[in-house]
Amino acid sequence: MPQILIDHSPGLDFDATAFAKEAHQLIPEVIDTATADCKTLVRPAATHLVGDGSSGEAVVLVEIKILAGRSAEARSELSVRITDLLRSHIRVPAAFCVQVSELDRETYVFVHHAGH
């Protein structure tokens, strides 16, 4: 179920596929889910800016959407562990953040559509 959205600066030397594969292995260690249920979208940005632009830092934003009901401690641990994983994958000066958000179980729908 977890949905991982990765936005990053254009031209960043970042193997997002390798990062996603490791994240998919890590997430079930923290919350009750399976690796096969993790889904990631990587969205390189057209442009980015940190502060006044003078730092030249890259930007990486990771949002992990999970079904509501996990403890604050589990969500916090997931944020910390994904942040540590980012540190191991980003080799250049960068501003990055990780946000774990909850999806409402009452309104969330996911479908594996087989096509027509």
Q: Which two tokens stand for residue 66?
A: 């999970």
User: Could you tell me if residue 80 is inside a domain?
Assistant: yes
Supply the range of the domain harboring residue 66.
3-103
Q: Look at strands 58-67 and 94-103 and give their pairing.
A: parallel
Residue 72: predicted pLDDT: 97
| pLDDT tens for each residue of 62-92 | 999 999 999 999 999 999 999 999 999 999 9
pTM of the prediction?
0.92
Give the chain's domain count: 1
**CATH code of the domain covering residue 67:** 3.30.429.10
| pLDDT tens for each residue of 5-60 | 999 999 899 999 999 999 999 999 999 999 999 999 999 999 999 999 998 899 99
Strands (E) in the chain, as ranges, are 3-8, 39-44, 58-67, 94-103
Q: Which residues make Cβ contacts (< 8 Å) with residue 100, sequence separation at least 6? A: 63, 64, 66, 75, 76, 78, 79
Half-sphere exposure of 70 (CA within 13 A, CB side): 24
User: Could you tell me if residue 112 is inside a domain?
Assistant: no
Residue 2 has pLDDT above 90, yes or no: yes
